[in-house]
Structure 1
Amino acid sequence: MTDDLLKQITFIKEVDKLKYILRKTKLFNSNRNENDAEHSWHLSLMALVLAGHANQPVDLLKVIKMLLIHDIVEIDAGDTFIYDTQKSHDNTAEEREAANRIFGLLPADQASELIAVWEEFEAGQTHEAKFARAMDRLEPLLQNTSNNGGTWAEFDVRYDTVYAKKKVIQNGSDTIWQYAEQLLNENVEKGILKK
């Protein structure tokens, strides 16, 4: 056995903890909270299926890497609810420390690569990051719609706040944003999302 293999196995065991990090959003048509591992898998599959709607051609493998690892830092830092009014959802020192610790379990070359992919997602500037972030904002919109408002209703989140957070979708896909905007408007019309 090589030292690299042992480091990789250690990392694989550590990231199993992602299955225990619960998000505020619930599964489609369900009252069970989604965990971060389910979220990451679902986003990756969404990207695979919806990549043809990206505003620009994207390296799909890189997008999937971003989506599979973007929340790994929450093993240490916890999940910050996107509509939290007390704590910023932006990249924090806690998340940076978590990234260094968790990805640092890997051999140096893999650790560097995954930290760079994570940083690229967080910065949201490349075509891949913009599309990956679009997927990350679309899934909870679909979930909340399926659950008659879900976290919007539970935490009294208003249309303007939801709209501002979801508008990021447009950076990755105009087509998907048009669909998302239509869903938001339908939720308002049904009284699910309050203006």
Structure 2
Amino acid sequence: MKPLFLFLLELEKLKGKVRRGWLLHKIKNGETTAEHIFHLAFLTWVLGREKKLNMEKMLKIALLHDVVEIYAPDLTSYDACGIKKGITIKNWKKIKPKEGRPTNEQRKILARIKRKLEEKAMNKITKKLPADLKREFKLLWFDYKNGLSKESRFVKQADRFINFFQGMIYSKKCKKIKKKLWLQRIKEVIDDQYLLNLLNTSESYFFKK
């Protein structure tokens, strides 16, 4: 039982880890990674019922998707904007986040850096877990990162939506959040009809005149 006990102790760190995007926006008492996971899990549950997919699998993926942030940095599109020539996994800490819209090349570089850092974190997290749990963690996380199943693809899009949703809530007290840019981006990255319906409702609420 000791490996599971130690894992639970490590998991506790996510309760105090404020998400990087909110730190960059200087949001007071910003959402933590644990709070984000909680919010996503509920969205996955209440909206995922309509999808007729494997609910247990979706909830496990939602709970697991950002657990790597115990050790890995929560890099954002602002970090992608700050990527300059010569930035690699070896010197990623030199990235200086900037506002704006990253290029496709910047997004690709950041994705490679994040993947390496997160894989390292996942290996560290699962190193001493029981073999069956270690295997399940890695398979579900790999599925999520690569969009191998309908369940993981839905959770990925739900994750993007819930981040947009939280940003819109914070936009009421943080004028630095460029709502129209956020709305443009979220429309580019989700195509699930249930999430699009929820997005339409959100747009009517957050962008009402």
**Overall identity of the aligned pairs, in %:** 26
TM-score by length of 2: 0.72
1:102 aligns to what?
125
Alignment of 1:20-99 (within 5 A): 20-23=16-19, 24-25=21-22, 31-54=28-51, 57-84=52-79, 85-86=81-82, 88-89=110-111, 91-99=114-122
Contact 1:7 1:105 in 2 (8 A): yes
Amino acid at match of 1:48: W
Q: Which has the higher contact order (CA 8 A, sep 6+)?
A: 1
**Structure 2 unmatched ranges of 5 or more:** 84-109
What RMSD, in angstroms, separates the aligned Cα atoms of the two structures?
Answer: 2.7
- Within the alignment, does 1:118 sit opposite 2:141 as a pair? yes
Query: 1:150, 1:16 → 2: CA distance?
Result: 28
Kindly tell me the number of residue pairs found equivalent between the two proteins: 177
| Greater strand share, structure number | 1
Worse overlay, 94-103 or 177-186 = 177-186
Query: 2:31, 2:129 → 1: CA distance?
Result: 27
1:178 aligns to what?
197
Amino acid at match of 1:140: N
Query: 2:187, 2:159 → 1: CA distance?
Result: 9
